[in-house]
Structure 1
Amino acid sequence: MSTHIAKADAISRHISLLLRRKVFVQPAAAPAKGKLVIFGRYEDGTGKALGTVGADMALAAYAGAALSLVPADVARDCIRVRRLEPALQENFGEILNVLCCGFDAEGGRVKLASMVFPPDAATDDFTGGLHLSLDIDGYGEGLLSLRSAA
């Protein structure tokens, strides 16, 4: 069974619906090593790895804040100190869960298997895959990368 990565507009649409605000998406270059610091790992119903989503601190902070209407200044403070407040971390976990839509296991079930937040370390080799710049209306811009496990 092969894994397909969703198109950029589908990712943007799902996040926009969740956040109840416009999310503008553009293709981005592959992020530099160390740029992505928050990860979600996805698997199918049998436990087979399907892929990984990586986000930079800016996207996690802005999206986490936008989900519960936390002021953008709080997100900017998190970016500055490179650490998410617990509520924003929990919110971004919900966004990672919604990003199951980013993978298609040929009709099979896709689930978020694990999340990695700083200070825990994870691999960030995102050569290949889909790299996006997401600009959340009223908050700010950050990077999101999706990579298939295959």
Structure 2
Amino acid sequence: MTKTPLPSAKQTRELLEGLFGREMAVLTGGPMVDPAGPGGAVVAEYISDQMQLAALVVMDVPMAARAGAAIALMPSSASEAAVDDGELTDVLLENAGEILNVVASLFNAEGAPHVRLNAVHAPNEALPGDVAPWVMSYVARLDLECDIAGYGPGALSVLVL
């Protein structure tokens, strides 16, 4: 059995564009999204069928707000209020969680362990002890600067452990 694969920027962009039904610009080499930074971040943890932590996806608040609004076809003003306040509404957080659930498909490749979403942690929520050390680690990772057409920019980090 092979290791959980790190998706490419192209695979990530195509999946998200399909979910949003709109184009999205993606640049690689962005900064690592730090949940301890200003505003915090949404952290999704993915586990294997053997209950092993396999991957993480970290969205800064602007990305989570804009993606959450885009998937629900909400006006961009709904996400801008959350970006300005630095706080996600329950609806935007729930929508971001739905997106992160679908993102699990990026980690499931033939011959690799099956991976599924285990938990989504809201911005500024304390992370479990087995998750926190990995978020800013130099593991196989993809740090992206994203711009959702009609909604705006945000940052996304994808890590496999």
The answer, yes or no, to whether TM exceeds 0.5 is yes
Deviation digits for residues 18-65 of structure 1 (CA, Å, limit 9, x no counterpart): 111111111033326434511100011221211111010010000000
- Report the TM-score when normalising by structure 1: 0.90
| 1:75 counterpart residue number | 79
Structure 1: 4+ residue segments shifted above 4 A:
none
Asked if the contact 1:40/1:114 (under 8 Å) is kept, the reply is yes
Distance 2:157 2:4 in 1: 15
Matches within 5 A, 1:53-132: 53-104=57-108, 106-122=111-127, 123=132, 124-128=135-139, 129-132=141-144
Aligned residues: 149
Distance 1:62 1:32 in 2: 16
Matched AA of 2:157:
S
Asked if the contact 1:126/1:145 (under 8 Å) is kept, the reply is no
Distance 1:3 1:108 in 2: 6
Q: For the aligned residues, what is the CA RMSD?
A: 1.7
- Report the TM-score when normalising by structure 2: 0.84
Offset, 1:138:
0.4
Structure 1: tracts of 5 or more residues without a match:
none
Structure 2: tracts of 5 or more residues without a match:
none
Counting aligned pairs with the same residue, the percent is: 28
